[in-house]
Amino acid sequence: MFFGPVLQGKGFKMRDAKNYFLTTAIDYPNSRPHIGTAFEKIGADVQARLRRMEGSNVHFLMGNDENTIKVSQRAEELGVEPKPYVDDMARQFREVWSALEISNNDFIQTSEERHYIGCQKFITKVNEAGDIYKKPYTGLYCNGCEAFKTEKELVDGRCPNHPNVPLREVEEENYFFRLSAFRERLLAHYEANPDFIQPESRRNEIVNLVEGGLQDTAISRKGFTWGIPVPFDPEQTIYVWFDALLNYITAIGYGTDEARFESLWPADVHVIGKDITRFHCALWPAMLMSAGLPLPRQVFGHGFVYNKGAKISKSAGTAIDPMDVFRIHGADAFRYYFMRECPFGGDGNFSEERFAEVYNADLANNLGNLFSRTISMCVRYFDGRLEGSSSVDTTAWLAGLDLAELVDDLRAKVGSFEYNVALQRIWLEVLAAANRYIDATAPFKLAKTDLEACKAVLVNLAEAIRVIAILIKPFLPGTAEIFYRAFNFEEAQAWATVGYEAATHPSKVELKVTAPLEAGKPKPLFPKIELKGTDA
């Protein structure tokens, strides 16, 4: 069984191999999530769902990054205290993720006590290791990144990630982390663990960054009341990145439940945006090295989603609320578009016109139509009961398609975050095989001349629906369950326990239609989008 590289490099603890710990970046709650944020969460969710299907005990962590200047400023603008503000934003974020069928096990708010305790323990440990010192500092600060910027990081004197946010010159006396001291150890780790940073383009960027030399980084701010105090200097507050990165360990018990922490750490993968790889691939492993903790096994830096070619930005007005798409077309259509149309390791694009094209072609006219035609014919010609189906050869529809090979490749593709390639294979090979089979056998004609032959064809199409349900389960969980429950397949295996391996073993049950019907037909899963011109 292959899921892509999982490393047990130097310093990693051996833990229960059945446990799989997956995280996403925690989000600033200064406004609601946009489709770029949703892209990340869906991508992580696909990974989590397949791992569960294959028997892993998955712990999937998400959360909000609350101890930030942005948050306190936004709360002040609204005339509320920071804590009630972040709690309400956490509620809103959870609602969005639930609507998009994100299956996270935990959601951490960095204003929680478990995070407070773990942060203070960690910074104390790093201080005791001699890797923290205090000094005056003057530098250019980006409010968008909540980070100081060096001259070589700027483009035309501005932050490349937030070019519309003016940089501020900040002069303070802060605590610093000796990041520069970890250059050689980091490079050695990258060399010993070539898959630690993925995809390859991100790895090359970070290796070049670290080879060019690292500067010590400020890890505290003075004069802020919102945040976690530095335990050995209460006048200082732990700076956002040193605070935020620690959520990955404080959420699972660091500082509060050591047994639980040791059962889950190190993380198998951090799924994050490509704009914050330097924090996760240089600063974070150096912090862990200082504290004597194992490093995560992998960091995957996904690409950006653009809105009609423009970078998604709340300040520039190009952000799109995922709920605007969800309310009209549902979670699975949203999930399919972004996982099929946008390479997870690269950049993708969203427009209403392209969404409608993909939706109509792949979901309405292909996936949804196959389902509707099959169920309708079963009801029309056999009153929904395909008697004798358990003895029918259900490999005829495959026409030479090697399901075992396909399943192995899908595992590999999903394990390496090649979601668009996996979906291409499902649509271009499996759905195409089922549709070709309908065209070649014409069951609607056989119903008039040879009912037994017609029944055999429909049994094969029901089997195709079962296989498709299994293969799309990580991507389109709601649709997959509807497909599986359209017939009485649960008599052979309960849906909750179905993994990819089940697709390679034909179901042998006496089939009957169990899908809800309206006038003898199933309700359309993906009503076609009527195009009303274009403004692209």
Q: Compute how many other C-beta atoms are within 10 angstroms of the C-beta atom of residue 512.
A: 17
pLDDT of residue 268: 98
How far is residue 520's CA from residue 517's CA, in Å, rounded to a whole number?
5
Within 13 A of 59's CA, how many CA atoms are on the CB side?
22
**CA 391 from centroid of its chain's CA atoms:** 41
pLDDT of residue 379: 97
> CA dihedral defined by 418, 419, 421, 423, rounded to 10 degrees?
160
Q: Which of 43, 11, 29 is nearest to 474 (CA)?
A: 43
Over its length of 536 residues, how does the chain's per-residue pLDDT go in tens digits? 333 333 333 333 467 779 999 999 999 998 888 888 999 999 999 999 999 999 999 999 999 999 988 888 889 999 999 999 999 999 999 999 999 999 999 999 999 999 999 999 999 999 999 999 999 988 787 877 777 777 777 887 888 877 878 888 877 899 999 999 999 999 999 999 999 999 999 999 999 999 999 999 999 998 888 999 999 999 999 988 999 999 999 999 999 999 999 999 999 999 999 999 999 999 999 999 999 999 999 999 999 988 766 665 555 555 667 677 777 889 999 999 999 999 999 999 988 899 999 999 999 999 999 999 999 999 999 999 999 999 999 999 999 899 999 999 999 999 999 999 999 999 999 999 999 999 999 999 999 999 999 999 999 999 999 999 999 999 999 999 999 999 999 999 999 999 999 999 999 999 999 999 998 899 999 999 987 754 43
Say if residues 25 and 267 touch (Cβ distance below 8 Å). Answer: no
Extended beta strands in 259-335, E state: 269-273, 299-302, 305-307, 310-311
pLDDT of residue 225: 87
Q: Can you list the domains of the chain with their CATH numbers? A: 19-329 (3.40.50.620), 351-522 (1.10.730.10)
- As a three-state string, the secondary structure of 157-173 is CECCCCCCCCCEEEEEE
Three-state secondary structure call for residue 64: strand
Distances in Å between the Cα of 435 and the Cα atoms of 189, 428, 457, 473 are: 49, 10, 12, 20
- Looking at this protein, which amino acid is placed at residue 341? E
Its pTM stands at 0.91
What 8-state DSSP symbol labels residue 513?
B
